[in-house]
Structure 1
Amino acid sequence: MSTTTLDKPTTKRSKISSGSALMTWRKQRGISRKLFAQMADCSERKLATYEAAPKLPPKIKRPVNETVRLIQALRELAGDDIELKDWLNRPNPAFGKKTPLTLITQGESDLLWEMVYQLRQGAFA
């Protein structure tokens, strides 16, 4: 599995504080505005407004940074951005045939974090 230094769990977590940093981070990973907006629980239009802002408003900083951390953790396991995007949209028997993206949009990302934790600990090995 290939990872970047930023995606390793032992590395200092990235923190996005400006709209341009968010847009750059998102585009470098090939993550569409639509997908990121779904994961961060905001509209595409709002996300576009935030990305144009020099500083992210306090109300969106937390969801943005939580989404960034979740994407980093899932990408670490998926291996690359393309596989991650496919996996997010594929029904998964481990989640009652829901897609991981459905879990995120329904406020159940804790199930994904539990999976990440278990895989990092080798619980499924």
Structure 2
Amino acid sequence: MKALIAAKSDVQLKTRESLTGEKKWYVLTVENEQDLMSGLDSENPELLVLDTESFNVAEVFDQVNLLERATKVLFLLDNQVPDSTENIRTFLRPGISDYLTKPFDEELLRHRIFSLISASFLNTDTKTKQNLLPELHDRKTGRLDAKKIADVLGISLKALSAALDKNYRALHKTPHSEKIQKELAVYKRIIEVLYELFQKPEDIHIWLNSPSVDFGGKTPLNLITEGYAEAVLDLVKDVQEGSAG
């Protein structure tokens, strides 16, 4: 797979390092707009990492509509620039483009890159996918278990009870209550889609705890604990559909 890094040298190095691992990448680097356009035309990369401090995003998109190509775009934003996300909001598409604010660590950068190109690596074997998904049901009743769902999401049962607007003591006593199965099904679907996209629990937790422009800078986990699991489900579905497209 090919990645084109349009950024300054220090960002180029960190991005190149984040691409090492399970998949082999052919990495190209550019530092000016002319070389960027040439690289996009000649190499048709699967991934473009675009540093908004080094390049004018609007001018780049005036010349080539990256959202209509197979190339996924990761914008790198400068945290010193006020309202930097507003400058790229028009160009953000679930599963097609994303952003990351500097400074950032290599692990978070790797995760954002992986989230954009993950659909290419999805294992289509149903049995393998089922094996990846943790058990979310009570063994005796077969019903969804709130405690197991909370554990997978990385939150306390008390936090989940508040999100569900349910009595904590009652939920603690019967986490697989028949009365909450419909609500728990939303959380199960979120977890299923996240495992299809990321496969690894550590990558899922990074995504759940990463601020999102779609949620005004809040993390998906913030929304879940505030009782807006449906909104998070809509987002992960958009990411899944966008990545598959």
**2:156 alignment partner in structure 1:** 34
User: Does the CA contact (< 8 Å) of 2:212 and 2:220 recur in 1?
Assistant: yes
Does 2:212 align with 1:59?
Answer: no
TM-score w.r.t. length of structure 1: 0.59
**Could you give the per-residue CA deviations for residues 4-41 of structure 1, whole angstroms, max 9, x where no partner exists?**
42389xxxxx98463887389659x8555616952862
**1:111 alignment partner in structure 2:** 231
More strand by share: 2
User: Does the CA contact (< 8 Å) of 2:223 and 2:229 recur in 1?
Assistant: yes
Matches of 1:73 and 1:7 in 2, distance apart? Answer: 14
Aligned-pair distance for 1:2? 5.8
CA RMSD of aligned residues (A): 4.1
Aligned to 1:73, which of 163, 183, 193?
A: 193
TM-score w.r.t. length of structure 2: 0.35
Structure 1 unaligned segments of length 5 or more: list them: 9-13
**Could you give the per-residue CA deviations for residues 84-106 of structure 1, whole angstroms, max 9, x where no partner exists?**
12321222223210110121233
Identity %: 26
User: Does the CA contact (< 8 Å) of 2:144 and 2:185 recur in 1?
Assistant: no
Larger radius of gyration: 2
User: Does the CA contact (< 8 Å) of 1:90 and 1:99 recur in 2?
Assistant: yes
Matches of 2:170 and 2:215 in 1, distance apart? Answer: 29
Q: How many residues align?
A: 115
Matches of 2:146 and 2:229 in 1, distance apart? Answer: 22
Structure 2 unaligned segments of length 5 or more: list them: 1-120
**2:174 alignment partner in structure 1:** 50
